[in-house]
Amino acid sequence: MKLKSLLLIVAALAALSVVVFIIRRPASPASTDARQSRPLLDAATADRVAEIRLTEAGKSVILTRDAAGTWHVPAYYDFTADFSKIARFISELTDAKITRLVTTSPDRIARLEFKDTPITLLDSGAKQLWTATLGKSAETGGGRFLRFGAESKAYLTSLNTYLDLDPKNWANPELLALKPDDITKIEIPFSPAAASAGDPASITFTRAKKEDPWTTTSTPAGQKLKPEALTPTLTALTSLRFSETTDLTDANAIAAKANERLFKLETFDGKVIKIALGRKPEEKKIKPPVADAKNGLAALGTATDLAKQAAEGKPADPTKPIVPEFETIPAGPVFVNISHSEGAAAPVNVLMQKRAFQIADYTFTSLPQKASDLFEPAAIRPPAGRAPVPSEPK
């Protein structure tokens, strides 16, 4: 047999062997890890959670649930926690799936950056229910690496969550849980400037049922209540939320208390809520005189300087008239103080004893400042039986 023919036969046999190997090759063994494709946190465990501990980069936050089922933030004056935020976080854990077991190799696990980012869930008896440490995010395909407890296994999960380690951000910012439809009476105070211009100090509006129109005995002559005039005020007052809190002795809080406007709400079931809103007002101050670089005298003076010169018998320099220059100091932050007729049974009354509460400036500035913000001229109707008198032709 020729050498060339022999080589062709050998090559053909080799190719046939490869095909047979591929056909008969056993399938890759399926993963035997029981967690694969399962939820990161099962619903039964989630229902038993009474304490959440989050840690990252040396910071931590603890959230606890009391016997009545209310969540608290112990590190932020034991404020009630934002339940909706906690529910979202737990849902992220129960919705996430374990994509696959990545490795059991200590060297590879070390490269997945499992540091100090544990999530720990405990039951009402402070017994650990579930704990896992987050690693780095996957570079492709999304998800995040995770390991359970001290296990020498690293998993890839579909979890994409953010650990908020600021206790204040977990506090429930809602100060009142009312609705505009709950209110049967509202007293609206006006600003001191409006009162000095002839407006009443306040006006009270009432309605017998939520679908009834608002009425008042203080409608100015020739005026009527603007349609939906009270709607934005009711919405703002019944859904107050704080943006920041300070100590009760804070200078801005004390200044705000001296400049409060007191709104009063009464609900259909007889509860009375008093809402005091105030801020340190804007100030205009005369700037101190600026020294003249040439002769050391004040280039700009003040009224006090002029009075001093007159007292000393010095004539005013006509070349340097007194031209006061003012600077504006902005108004301080807006603070709210709430008093509920239920006394100690009202959670908001307890809150007000702990901290001073700031709210968004817009909430305060959008409220009516004067009567004309609520009323408008009433339509003038001709006497009954008489048609309007037409104007004379020009």
pLDDT more than 70, % of the chain: 79
- According to DSSP, the β-strands at 326-329 and 202-206 are unpaired
N- to C-terminal Cα separation, the chain: 129
Report pLDDT for 56: 94
Decide if pLDDT at 207 tops 90.
yes
**pLDDT over threshold 70, residue 20:** no
Instruction: Select, from the ranges 279-293, 306-320, 328-342, 368-382, the one with the highest average predicted confidence (pLDDT).
Output: 328-342
User: Which one has a higher pLDDT value, 311 or 220?
Assistant: 220
User: Looking at the predicted structure, is the pLDDT value of residue 300 above 60?
Assistant: no
> Taking the alpha carbons of 255, 259, 265, 271 in that order, is the dihedral positive or negative?
positive
From start to end of the chain, where are the E strands? Answer: 51-56, 59-65, 71-73, 79-80, 98-103, 118-122, 128-137, 144-148, 154-157, 183-189, 202-206, 223-225, 244-246, 260-267, 272-278, 283-286, 326-329, 334-340, 356-359, 375-377
For the cut 60, the answer to whether the pLDDT of residue 24 exceeds it is no
Amino acid 7: pLDDT: 53
- Could you read off the pLDDT of 92-138 as tens digits, one per residue? 999 999 999 999 999 999 999 998 999 999 999 999 999 999 999 99
How many other β-carbons are positioned within 10 Å of the β-carbon of residue 182? Answer: 18
Given this model, what pLDDT does residue 297 score?
Answer: 46
| More confidently predicted of 193 and 229 | 229
The pTM (predicted TM-score) of the whole model is 0.76
Confidence band (pLDDT; 50, 70, 90) for 198? confident
341-391 pLDDT tens trace:
999 889 999 999 999 999 999 999 999 999 999 999 987 665 666 655 555
Using alpha carbons, select from 232, 173, 183, 181 the residue that is nearest to residue 205. Answer: 183
Q: What is the pLDDT of residue 88?
A: 97
Mean predicted confidence (pLDDT) in 16-42? 64
The confidence band for 13, taking pLDDT boundaries of 50, 70 and 90, is low
